[in-house]
Amino acid sequence: MIIYNGTVGEPVENPSESFIRDVIFDKDESYWNQGSGDSCFEIEGCEGRLVLFYDEPCGFFIMRHPDYLVTFNKNREIETVGHLVGGEPMKIPTCSYVDREMAYRIIEEFITNKSVPKCIEWVDLYDIDFEHGF
């Protein structure tokens, strides 16, 4: 079973492909700034889950929790941006944001293979040199 926990509302069990496409391609920043400020995909029998949110103009931040693996684009300049998660500011390096197409591909591969997608590089969030505040 796949469960999508959105920024607000009840969890969605076994979300359809069209539902997932709507979340990734059609929800704007206002959706991601309400409620918890983030969402996640969980898969029954899979140890980790994918936590994600969207910020303009950066794109999607996707993190595998609980091991804090994040997407990493070594060709993107590293700046620190903030996003409210659960009402608390979370600092994020810009090199860990992806566009909508890649976000959809990552989620699709995670659901299919039940593991960290291999279509992009992943690193520990705190191995990136940015102003994380810890």
pLDDT tier, 134 (very low <50, low <70, confident <90, very high otherwise): low
Is the model's pLDDT at 125 over the cut of 70?
yes
Instruction: Compute the average pLDDT of residues 67-82.
Output: 93
Cβ(38)–Cβ(50) below 8 Å: no
Chain centroid, CA 55 distance in Å: 11
Average pLDDT, the chain: 93
Is the model's pLDDT at 105 over the cut of 70?
yes
The 10 Å Cβ neighbour count of residue 60 is: 22
Residue with tokens 């620190």: 80
Instruction: Compute the average pLDDT of residues 94-102.
Output: 97
Cβ(71)–Cβ(133) below 8 Å: no
Instruction: Compute the average pLDDT of residues 112-118.
Output: 90
pLDDT tier, 90 (very low <50, low <70, confident <90, very high otherwise): confident
* Beta strand segments in the chain, E: 2-5, 12-13, 39-43, 49-55, 59-65, 69-71, 80-85, 88-93, 97-98, 122-124
